[in-house]
Amino acid sequence: MDEFDRRLINRLQHGLPLVRHPWQALADELDAEPQALRDRVQALLEDGTLTRFGPMFDIERLGGAFTLAALSVPEERFDTVAEILAAMPEVAHNYRREHAWNMWFVLGCATPHGIAETISRIEVQTGLPVLNLPKEETYHVGLHFAV
């Protein structure tokens, strides 16, 4: 990753400009060409530097639901279980934690009932119980990871 990639990633963490031509506005900000920016984002996705690039929706306002969940996965099965979750469109992301519940993930479903169905499917496919940690209250916290 070069310095321009760092500038681009740092800027994109604050969202695209909400204008008719967002890539042009971003290009003007970063002194680049719009197509070059799109190409860089695509390259960062392809090389694994970025794992996702897209909008964040308030799924509950759209009638859907989400929850934070966790699994306690035996180390020898960790990669296999991670692949199972990665193949599920309801799983927004998953990550390892140094804890008895060592695999954490976020589920987003089109309906609240979809959460229960997806958790059940995960339990059947993995043979492991899911710890479901639904949101009780919403807090808006700005999060930015400078690179």
pLDDT (tens digit, 9 = 90+) per residue, 68-88?
999 999 999 999 999 999 999
Distance of CA 79 to the CA centre of its chain: 18
Residues 82 and 40 in one domain: no
Residues 42 and 73 in one domain: no
Residues 124 and 69 in one domain: yes
Tell me the backbone φ, ψ of residue 92, rounded to 5 degrees: -70, -45
Q: Give residue 99's pLDDT.
A: 95
Q: Is the pLDDT of residue 58 over 90?
A: no
Q: Give residue 85's pLDDT.
A: 97
List residues bridging with 138 in a β-sheet. none
User: How much is the CA Rg of the chain, to the nearest whole Å?
Assistant: 18
Please tell me which residue, 56 or 5, carries the higher pLDDT value. 5
Beta strand pairing status for 131-134 and 91-96?
unpaired
User: How many structural domains does the chain have?
Assistant: 2
Neighbours of 132 (CB within 10 A): 13
pLDDT (tens digit, 9 = 90+) per residue, 74-123?
999 999 999 999 999 999 888 999 999 999 999 999 999 999 999 999 99
Q: Give residue 101's pLDDT.
A: 98
Residues 73 and 126 in one domain: yes
Residues 122 and 86 in one domain: yes
Average pLDDT over residues 5-28: 94
What CATH number does the domain containing 124 carry? 3.30.70.3460
d(CA 122, CA 118) in angstroms, rounded, equals 6
What is the span of the domain harbouring residue 20? 3-46
Is 141 a member of any domain? no
Return the amino acid letter for 103. M
Q: Give residue 51's pLDDT.
A: 84
Q: Which is nearest to 59 in space by CA: 136, 112, 18, 120?
A: 112
pLDDT confidence bin for 56, thresholds 50/70/90: confident
Q: Give residue 60's pLDDT.
A: 83
Is 98 a member of any domain? yes
Is 76 a member of any domain? yes
Q: What is the largest CA-CA distance in the chain?
A: 52
Is 56 a member of any domain? no
Residues 42 and 88 in one domain: no
Average pLDDT over residues 127-145: 87
Residues 71 and 37 in one domain: no
What CATH number does the domain containing 42 carry? 1.10.10
